Amino acid sequence: MYDLKGKAALVTGAGKKTGIGFAVAEKLAASGASVVIADLGGQPAQGGEVRTGTRAEMDAIAEDLAGRHGVRTLAVDLDVTSADSITAMMDRVREGFERVDVLVNNAGATFGVPNAVHTYDEAAWMKTIDVNLHGVFRVTRAVMPMMAGGPGSVVNVASRAGKVPPLFNGAYAVAKAGVIMMTKVMARELAGQGIRVNAVCPGQISTDLEAWRFDLEARFLGTTAEARKAEMVGTIPLGRMGAPAEVADVIVFLASDAASYMTGQAVNITGGQLMEL
C-alpha cells in the first residue's frame, strides 16, 4: 500500500465497478487520496457497444469509496471528446479541490471494429482516435493548471495494442501508440516542474471491454468467445487473464512517491505476453 494521504486524484472512466478505472479509484482511496470519479454518466456514448459508466453507478461508487476509506470523493460527468464537458467538469473540481496531484487518463472505447484500416468507416475511425488519444490530450491540458508547479503524477492507460499491432482494431492501436508517445513528450516537457508522466500497457484484463472483444473476434473468426479467450490465454506465459486490480496496483505505484525516479515509461502489464528489451 502506498501513502497518498492528503493528495487529490482524478480518474477518467472510473464509473463502472467492473472496469480498470474503478479498481484504480478504489486503490487510490485505500491509499488515502481523495478521488474524482469522472465518467460519461448522464450522457452515454453514441454508437459504443460496451456498457458505459452511468450516473447512478458513479454516485454509488463515490459514496462507497468515501464511506469505506474515509476520503473525499466527487462523481462528475465527463465526455473526454467534448471541450464543454471538460470545462464543466473542471468547474466542479475547482469548487471542491485546490489542487489535483494525480491524474489517471483511463477512459477508452473502440468504434467500427472489426475492420481493416483500408476499409474502416471514417467517422468510427475519428471517434476512436478522439476518445483514446485526443481525450487524453484534452483532459490533461485542462487539469494541468491544477497540478502546476508540481509535484504531480500523470498516468495514461495505453495498451499492449499500442506496441504490438492487433488485427482489425487499427484506430484503437494507432491511438494507443499515440498515447505512449504523448506520455514521453509530456514527461520531458513537465519534468522541470516535478510532474512525472508515465503510461501503462495492459494486455488481456478481465473487463467488459475484453469480454466484448473476445465475442467480437470469435464471431469474425467463426469460433466461440471461450475458444478465442483460451487461444489468447495460451499466449500468456503466466497462463491467465489479468485482473483490473493488478493493473491498478501498478498505476497507484506510478502515481506515488515510490516511483519518484520514473518518468516517460510505458510499463507492460501483460503476464509476460509482451516482453521487449
The burial class, CB within 10 Å (0-12 / 13-18 / 19+), for 156 is: buried
Please select the residue that binds ligand NAI; options are 17, 30, 32, 45, rule is CB under 6 A. 45
**Cα 54 to Cα 194: distance, rounded to the nearest angstrom:** 35
Sheet holding 195-202, edge to edge: 73-77, 34-39, 8-12, 102-105, 152-157, 195-202, 266-269
The nearer residue to ligand NAI, 34 or 207, going by C-beta atoms, is 207
Q: Does 170 bind ligand NAI (CB under 6 A)?
A: no
The nearer residue to ligand NAI, 42 or 67, going by C-beta atoms, is 42
What lies within 8 Å, CB to CB, of 109 at 6+ separation is 45, 48, 50, 52, 128, 131, 132, 209
Rounded least distance, CB 31 to ligand NAI, Å: 20
The nearer residue to ligand NAI, 5 or 141, going by C-beta atoms, is 141
Q: Does 183 bind ligand NAI (CB under 6 A)?
A: no
Active site annotation includes 172? yes
Please select the residue that binds ligand NAI; options are 9, 61, 209, 250, rule is CB under 6 A. 209
Q: Does 210 bind ligand NAI (CB under 6 A)?
A: yes
Measured in whole angstroms, the distance separating CA 187 from the mean position of its chain's CA atoms is: 17
What pairing do the DSSP bridges indicate for beta strands 34-39 and 73-77?
parallel
What pairing do the DSSP bridges indicate for beta strands 195-202 and 266-269?
parallel
Q: Does 268 bind ligand NAI (CB under 6 A)?
A: no
Residue 209, amino acid: L
Backbone region of residue 164 per phi and psi (left: phi > 0; alpha: psi in -120 to 50; beta: other values)? beta
Rounded least distance, CB 140 to ligand NAI, Å: 14
Please select the residue that binds ligand NAI; options are 153, 169, 207, 263, rule is CB under 6 A. 207
Please select the residue that binds ligand NAI; options are 53, 152, 170, 178, rule is CB under 6 A. 53
Active-site residue list? 172
Q: Name the residues that contact ligand NAI, by CB under 6 A.
A: 12-13, 15-16, 18-21, 39-40, 45, 50, 52-53, 78-81, 106-109, 131, 157, 159, 202, 204-205, 207-210
